[in-house]
Amino acid sequence: MHAYIAGGMAVNFHTGIRMSDDVDIQWSHKVAIPPDLRVFPAINPDDPSDVILVTMDGEFGDYLGTFPPDWKEKSILIGEVGDLVLHVINPLDLATSKVGRYQERDREDIQALARAGLIDSESFSQRIDDALDYYVGDITFVQYNKRDAVELVEEIENERRQK
């Protein structure tokens, strides 16, 4: 069985910032998450007194948002635990997945990925187009989101060139 991690936990994995209090996982098979695993404590390794309760998001799915169709194949293998194979969405597809909803947290996540040098505006724009080829519904607002998101990344690239 494969588990594909996306969302805030994936941002944390790639950038080391923004701890999330939920885990967005796309499972390869249907999974009934036992009640005792739906909420669990996460301890900050740098400060053991810093504990947050993390919720397993049982409603997460790649059918919502702007996930490219092959994001699972391009995900990064991070480990295996028994029969469970863990993957994390790659940075470019993670940023692309944020464009559909594009709320403040999504914008901050895209900026963090760009500042870390994990995405560039040209690849980002193309990957969004790849995802939109499979998007169901009116893409007008997503196109506006795309324009704004790519501009955010371009601004960070310009700042980096000026340094």
Please give the single-letter amino acid code of residue 122: E
Averaged pLDDT for residues 38-66: 68
Q: Are 68 and 96 in contact (CB under 8 A)?
A: yes
Write out the H or E segment, with its range, that includes residue 24: strand 22-27
Tell me: pLDDT of 71 over 90: yes
Tell me: pLDDT of 35 over 80: no
* CA–CA distance, 107 with 152 (Å, rounded to integer): 8
pTM equals 0.86
The pLDDT, as a whole number, for residue 18 is 77
The pLDDT, as a whole number, for residue 97 is 95
* Whole-number CA gyration radius for the chain: 16
Higher-pLDDT residue of 148 and 81 is 148
Band (44; pLDDT cuts 50, 70, 90)? low
pLDDT tens column, 73-86: 999 999 888 888 98
Question: Tokens representing 107?
Answer: 């914008």
- Residues paired with 81 in a beta bridge: 84
Percent of the chain with pLDDT over 70: 86
pLDDT tens column, 100-111: 999 999 999 999
